[in-house]
């Protein structure tokens, strides 16, 4: 809890959000969704007299990383009017988008995070292909997650066809794709943008963030003249394993077609 100009807030970002919301609310033609830009965040911090963080592009993402209560995302003055907050990326008429205030109704909130089923299909993968030293010291962060996935060719084993890494990460502005893979299936080429969460962060999979990445990939491939399928994948590290959600091809991610739990034997030492 912070105090700013005599008012209590749960986040130092909330006074800035109040400013941005009021800037657009009275004149918004469509009050169901109020969109704002990265430049509005900088303007808002200056207006309320709070130092701007090093990365304004992560401001909204930071508020939406976990499936918390609506009051952790927006100040009470905004939730009292029935609005919640979601991440939005991509170019707009006034620069790059930052986010949206979405009307959900008083007392309600957005469900923008992936819900994992309780009964995931489970497979076990032999981890002895990882050199013993690497298996002992690989970290439980995002880089370690992709190292283990690539050492053991996890996506090939889960997808049922050969999957090749393109590069990790793929920094295609305004999004960073955590992992980027490709495969040819029945003479059709696919790319797999992967959204990843490690044990070190404890973050949840945000479907709005994944949709932003999906649309960025579609736009980039189009400008390159590449006509390939795009299929989103989400992965989260769990103790000694990885949960993998596979979404329908060529659609923005809303509900996965399949969820698989991968467990390792022998154990990954730092993933216990």
- Give the tens place of pLDDT for each residue, 41-73: 999 999 999 999 888 888 998 899 888 899 999
Where are the domains positioned within the chain? 2-103, 121-271
Rounded CA separation 192/231 (Å): 5
Q: Please write the tens of the pLDDT for every residue from 202-229.
A: 889 999 889 989 999 999 999 999 999 9
Q: Which residues pair with 91 in a beta bridge?
A: 96
Asked whether residue 6 carries a pLDDT value surpassing 80, the answer given is no
Residue 205 has, within 13 A of its CA and on its CB side, a CA count of: 27
Please give the distance of CA 127 from its chain centroid, rounded to a whole number.
28
Q: Select from 2.30.130.10, 3.40.1350.10, 3.60.150.10, 3.40.50.2300 the CATH code of 121-271.
A: 3.40.1350.10
pLDDT band for position 172 (50/70/90)? confident
SS3 category, 228:
coil
Rounded CA separation 174/219 (Å): 11
Helix (H) or strand (E) holding 224: none
């Amino acid at each position: 809890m912070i105090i700013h100009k005599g008012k209590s807030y749960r986040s130092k970002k909330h006074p800035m959000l109040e400013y941005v919301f009021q800037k657009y609310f009275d004149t918004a033609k469509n009050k169901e969704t109020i969109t704002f830009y990265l430049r509005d965040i900088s303007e808002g911090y200056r207006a309320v007299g709070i130092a701007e963080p090093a990365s304004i592009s992560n401001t909204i993402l930071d508020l939406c990383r976990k499936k918390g209560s609506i009051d952790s995302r927006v100040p009470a003055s905004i939730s009292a009017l029935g609005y919640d907050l979601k991440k939005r990326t991509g170019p707009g008429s006034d620069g790059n988008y930052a986010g949206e205030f979405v009307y959900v109704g008083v007392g309600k909130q957005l469900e923008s995070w992936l819900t994992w089923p309780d009964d995931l299909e489970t497979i076990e993968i032999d981890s002895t292909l990882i050199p013993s030293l690497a298996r002992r010291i690989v970290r439980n962060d995002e880089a370690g997650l992709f190292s283990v996935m690539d050492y053991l060719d996890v996506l090939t084993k889960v997808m049922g066809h050969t999957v090749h890494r393109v590069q990790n990460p793929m920094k295609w502005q305004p999004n960073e794709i955590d992992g980027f893979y490709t495969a040819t299936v029945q003479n059709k080429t696919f790319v797999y943008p992967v959204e990843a969460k490690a044990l070190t962060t404890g973050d949840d999979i945000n479907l709005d963030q994944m949709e932003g990445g999906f649309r960025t990939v579609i736009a980039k491939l189009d400008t390159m003249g590449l006509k390939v399928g795009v299929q989103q994948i989400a992965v989260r590290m769990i103790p000694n394993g990885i949960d993998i959600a596979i979404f329908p091809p060529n659609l923005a991610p809303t509900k996965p077609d399949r969820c698989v739990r991968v467990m390792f034997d022998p154990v990954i030492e730092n993933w216990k």
